Amino acid sequence: MTGDEDCVFCKIVSGEIPGDVVLSTDEVVAFRDLQPVAPTHVLVVPRAHAPDAAATAADDPALLGALVSAGAEVARQEGVSDYRLVLNTGAEAGQSVFHTHLHVLGGRAFSWPPG
């Protein structure tokens, strides 16, 4: 899948709009969330546009592994040993930008179930 000219995450990946990038690889870009819900809140996005995790899994299952590996590296760089990884798929699940993205959340205690 290629980029989407209307997607804000594609624009961050391409450098068209700025993002506070903390990690960049051939497959993913990680940047700080503009509306953090935890002391560490970083989004890890594939460079290739796909609307959600299910579409990414169908198109390139290994890319989901790259997202998780990058999330672990972000947590390590941020000095966070306990963290939560979140993939929202669909508006009712809380997805607001329809480009696959993994939230890396840490730096505070989390409850279960999330709400």
The DSSP secondary structure of 45-76, one letter per residue, reads EESS--SSHHHHHHH-HHHHHHHHHHHHHHHH
Confidence at 2, pLDDT banded by 50, 70, 90: low
- State percent of the chain over pLDDT 70: 97
Q: Which tokens hold the place of 66?
A: 């790259």
pLDDT of 12-68, one tens digit each? 999 999 999 999 999 999 999 999 999 999 999 999 999 999 999 999 999 999 999
Catalytic residues: 101
Secondary structure (3-state) at 78? helix
67-95: average pLDDT: 97
pTM of the model: 0.94
- Please say if the pLDDT value at position 1 is more than 70: no
Residue among 56, 38, 45 nearest 101 (CA):
45
Q: Going from the N-terminus, what domains does the chain have, and what CATH number goes with each?
A: 8-106 (3.30.428.10)
